[in-house]
Structures are given as structure tokens and as C-alpha cells.
């Protein structure tokens, strides 16, 4: 049936009525829902996930059993990252690299969870490859998302693939990174094309920046690393900053630095 659907036909449907972070279907769902193999939204109906909103909850099967995502996060930070498919070269290198950084993420109180658009049996075999190639022991769960339900919920799909439904019948999952805080709020979203591998050091750097900012009430400049000077937010007056921090260096009235080691 999918082959008979033209792109103009796909674009002809009205957007859904939104309620919260997830789009809600109209009372009379369009025939496109059948074309999309049970997907709840079209490209125009995708939820717009903004920083600061509550991360959408979901239940899913993973390599560690069935989970409720919010319960899995509990009171920790979390990183959810998606992969287009099992047994693909870029994904294999990424998961191996993240697995090797297990201690670094745990030191920061961060739970990792991956997602790939295949079923559990495929995941299990793929993990054996990842461990062998990267010489590691992958221990975090990987979500089985063969039907792309979580991918659609978090808008992890490629628009080019979505408009190519008549050829493939199912959308491609891109490389997304979501950093979520203990309050279940989305704090960072990074989207990569499927051809580009992620930078694990940058993911850790962002987590360090977010946690430092939350703890000390500061922001971080370009290329910041732990221990570097931080920025006094514009909302804090220089007088108040001098009381709060041990040292304040004013470059401009709007750009003031203080020691990154300040308490």
C-alpha cells in the first residue's frame, strides 16, 4: 500500500491537535496512519521537544528487560541516545566508546540508555560484536524500537526518509542525544545525521557544564573544561557577584569571569 502513496498525498493531511509534549490524533485518523505502520504522527505532527520540558515518558523492551523510562531515570541524570540500526559501522564504534566511559558517566551520576531500531534478538547479537570490536563490556540497556514508537515520540527521524515512505515504508532513525536531569527535564538535545559519529568527550563536557551551572549558579564560556574560569550570569550584579564569589574579573560590564573552582 505504501508504494501507492505520493508525497503530495502525504503532505495533504492536517496537523494533529497538540496536548502537552506529544501530539494527539484527531477523532478521525487519516489513512496515512495505516501507511506509517501504526505511527501516531506525520512529519508536520511531530512533537516539538523544547529544552526545559518534561521528557516524554514511555514503556519499552530493552536488553535489561521491560522499563518505564521515568522510573528508570529515578533521581539521576540520564542520557538517551539513538542509533539507526544494529550491525551498522558508525553505531558500533559509538556504543563501544560510550561503554568504555561507563565509570565517567557513573561518577557524574548519569545513567546511559541507548536505542536502536531493531528487536531484542538482534540487539543481543550486536552487543557481542560491540564488545569484541571495542574490547569492552557494554552494560547499559539498549531499547528495542523496531516499530519506531520511541523514535517518533522523541522526533528522532530523518525528514528525507519520512518523505520517502513510498519506497521504504518506514522512517530512518537519526543520531539523537538527550540529556535529562533528575527532575526529568530535557536539558540538552543534539541531532546528528546518520553519517556522522558523535563526540563522547563533548557529551561529558556538556554534562559537566550543566552540573556546574546548577551547583554554582554560573554559565560556561566557549570550549570550557572543568577547572576553567566560568562566567557570572548577567542577572547577577557585579556587587552581588563579588560577595558570592572569591574573585570577579570584569572584561565588560556584561562579561565577568570568576574562578571555576569557586564553591
Grid cell in block for residue 82: 539513538
CB neighbour list of residue 103: distance below 8 Å, 6 or more residues apart: none
Give the CA distances from residue 128 to residues 6, 113, 120, 139, 178, in Å, rounded to whole numbers and listed in that order.
41, 17, 13, 12, 25
Strands (E), the chain: 17-19, 22-24, 59-62, 65-68, 77-83, 110-116, 142-144, 175-180, 186-192, 230-231, 249-252, 255-258
- Which residue of the set 10, 55, 79, 91 is catalytic? 91
Helix axes 200-216, 89-100, angle to 10 degrees: 50
Q: Which helix (H) or strand (E) holds 185?
A: none
Distances (CA, A) of 52 to 41, 63, 204: 22, 29, 19
Q: Is 36 a catalytic residue?
A: no
Residue among 68, 96, 79 nearest 182 (CA) = 79
Strand order in the sheet with 249-252: 230-231, 255-258, 249-252
What amino acid positions are annotated as catalytic residues?
91
Amino acid at each position: 500500500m505504501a508504494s501507492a502513496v505520493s508525497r503530495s498525498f502525504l503532505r495533504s493531511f492536517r496537523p494533529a491537535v497538540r496536548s502537552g509534549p506529544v501530539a494527539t490524533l484527531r477523532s478521525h485518523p487519516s489513512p496515512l496512519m495505516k501507511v506509517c505502520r501504526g505511527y501516531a504522527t506525520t512529519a508536520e505532527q511531530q512533537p516539538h521537544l523544547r529544552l526545559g520540558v518534561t521528557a516524554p515518558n514511555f514503556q519499552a523492551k530493552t536488553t535489561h528487560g521491560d522499563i518505564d523510562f521515568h522510573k528508570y531515570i529515578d533521581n539521576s541524570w540520564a542520557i538517551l541516545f539513538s542509533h539507526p540500526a544494529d550491525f551498522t559501522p558508525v553505531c558500533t564504534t559509538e556504543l563501544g566508546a560510550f561503554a568504555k566511559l561507563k565509570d565517567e558517566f557513573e561518577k557524574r551520576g548519569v545513567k546511559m540508555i541507548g536505542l536502536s531500531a531493531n528487536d531484542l534478538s538482534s540487539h543481543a547479537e550486536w552487543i557481542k560484536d560491540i564488545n569484541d570490536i571495542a574490547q569492552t563490556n557494554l552494560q547499559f540497556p539498549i531499547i528495542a524500537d523496531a516499530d519506531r514508537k520511541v523514535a517518533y515520540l522523541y522526533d528522532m527521524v530523518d525528514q528525507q526518509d519520512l518523505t520517502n515512505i513510498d519506497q521504504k515504508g518506514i522512517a530512518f532513525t537519526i543520531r539523537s542525544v538527550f540529556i535529562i536531569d533528575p527532575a526529568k527535564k530535557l536539558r540538552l538535545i543534539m541531532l546528528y545525521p546518520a553519517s556522522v559519529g558523535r563526540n563522547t568527550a563533548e557529551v561529558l563536557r556538556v554534562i559537566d557544564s550543566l552540573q556546574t551551572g546548577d551547583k554554582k549558579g554560573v554559565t560556561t564560556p566557549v570550549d570550557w573544561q572543568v577547572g576553567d574560569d566560568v562566567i557570572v550570569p548577567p542577572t547577577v550584579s557585579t556587587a552581588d557577584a563579588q560577595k558570592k564569589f572569591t574573585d570577579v574579573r570584569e572584561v565588560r560590564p556584561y562579561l565577568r569571569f570568576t574562578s571555576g573552582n569557586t564553591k
